[in-house]
Structure 1
């Protein structure tokens, strides 16, 4: 703590430039006509709470499935629900259907938007 306080009080800091730095355009400032689909491959973690409850029940009951049937059922319901929502989302993405207000767009949906609103020269 002592050193940081001394550094903040010292006058060795970089001076503030008086004139703004001019902007140099290296590449044209416009969007490409399409995006790649490389960023869509993310690993999603689902039903983590249900899985941890199920594993805690297994540990408590010495891995007896009969005593933890309620936790197993809740985990299976959560996972089948996740698979169903994932399938619906994948079908929408494959068709390029846009839903208003969606924050996470796939590459196909972004490409659909870019075709709908192209860059002007």
Structure 2
């Protein structure tokens, strides 16, 4: 392959094979640069699946015993106790999240919207 003569490579960056762009790209403001007075809660939705294993065991027992609840009382009670523990833990977590005392944790969107309503953007 023949070597390229200098007239073909003048002004070309050899590492990338093209001339570098030195002009700044102009910034076009499409929307005004200000914060909204509220945030959406779409990112806070988590899929908490509670007691999935206990529910599967309970439903398998129902299927095995032709949906007779008297024969599956042990599985039903374990599922109910697991779910009550889950609900208690969830309520405690929500009460902790609603307090603004812990500044390092993320605020829930409802609390953040209340604060933003107090101090709207001009």
**TM-score, normalised relative to structure 2:** 0.53
Cα deviation code 1:58-90 (max 9, x no counterpart): 111222323322221221011111221232234
CA distance in 1, matches of 2:34, 2:25: 22
Q: Select 1:81's aligned residue among 75, 82, 85.
A: 85
Residue aligning to 2:62: 58
Deviation at 1:36, TM superposition (A): 4.8
Q: Secondary structure at the match of 2:69?
A: coil
Q: Secondary structure at the match of 2:70?
A: coil
Superposition CA RMSD, Å: 4.0
Deviation at 1:43, TM superposition (A): 6.9
Aligned length: 102
Unaligned runs of 5+ in 1: 1-15
Q: Which has the larger radius of gyration?
A: 2
Q: Is 1:47 paired with 2:76?
A: no
**TM-score, normalised relative to structure 1:** 0.53
